[in-house]
Structure 1
Amino acid sequence: MEIVNEGIEEYARLHSGPESDLLKELNRETHAMVMQPRMLSGHLQGRFLSFIAKLINPNLIVEIGTYTGYSALCLAEGLAEKGKLITMDVNEELESFTRSFFDRSEFALKIDYRIADAQFEIEKIDGPIDLVFIDADKKSNGLYFDLLIDKIRPGGILIIDNVLWSGKVIEENANDKSTKALRDFNQKCLEDSRVEKVMLPIRDGLLMLRKK
């Protein structure tokens, strides 16, 4: 199921700010050389992430699920002058590809790229965290949330990608493990009084949480 009309999404993209030349290249090279390029955040979502980061001007961003680095580079646009972005992924095969784009960016010294399992790496991160973006193993969203929530400062933002799962979360006959996990996670966040929440139908769905 396409949850957003392609024409509307294209219109929204055309009426949003442009990608940098480096992001355009990364977008193009990911589609040409990497499997599952749909995992890339892309132009519209990338501009949204950049916009949110610039509003917050964070000192510390944590990203779980680097893939080829597009979302990390977008988030880094909003970092404070001495800010840092920690991004982690378990896929060693993409490390050299992704790191080459980080190294060529103006944020090279601000991005701490780690090949690591987030469930063990998060405990090594000292807070307070200002902004979190989760775009990784959907079945582990709840675990990542639990590990991060106490490290996020009051007023900090947590954004989770793919929470609508191509519309499968509302399909009664969709009972695969990832869909079930996403339904459970979305409900978990809805019932958690520690966070304000809003779900947005951008691309495959973004859930935004604000820690009270």
Structure 2
Amino acid sequence: MDHQHTLQLNGSELPSFMCSGCKEQGAGTSYICEYSNCNYILHKECAESVKHAVHPFFKNCNFELYEKAEEGGFCDACGKDLLGFYYASSITGCALHPCCLNLKENILNDDGNVIMTLSHEVPSDCVHCKQKHVVRNQFEGWSYVFNSDGKSCVHVSCFKDMIPENLKKRPRRRRMRSFMKFTGKLVVNIAIDLITGDITNSISTIVEALARSNG
């Protein structure tokens, strides 16, 4: 990467930040510049990126890391523009944000049970945006499918947006009594997860709430 200063793991997880690498919103773990007056910050996936990578959705296919996207390119997982770091395959022509390439295959609840599984298809309208297509006309992208029925799903793009968009709206002093609102319904309080920095548990809480509201 072109940033010349040493990066270090941030001691606290952030509710929202703009990654200097891929230019995408982030939340949780990040790497920051060793100089306090430098605002350079990276997703964990961008800071720990490798030159070549693979993905289970693409057999016998290597993705190469690029640091600057060409104008007009977009991610085949979420449909959002490629503005900075991205991975691309010369074989398939597909391109992915670093965070999209590293999406978890399964989302687990607190009991360790799989409640959502990553899919390269969108089997139904997204339970969050109520549409099958995202961003671009006739583009569906990837989704997380609820294991409860194997059909209900949430777009990867919606899933990525929900956490930083909702966390950044609440002042820190009010998080203990704040509720998250998705699909027009009040769901569950995830303040404890936010204060302790356990964003993973927050994600599980979010998707479980979506599943309940969808039912």
Greater RCO (Cα-Cα under 8 Å, separation 6 or more): 1
* TM-score normalised according to structure 2 size: 0.31
* TM-score normalised according to structure 1 size: 0.32
Query: In terms of Rg, which structure is larger?
Result: 2
Write 1 or 2 for the structure with the bigger share of strand. 2
Write 1 or 2 for the structure with the bigger share of helix. 1
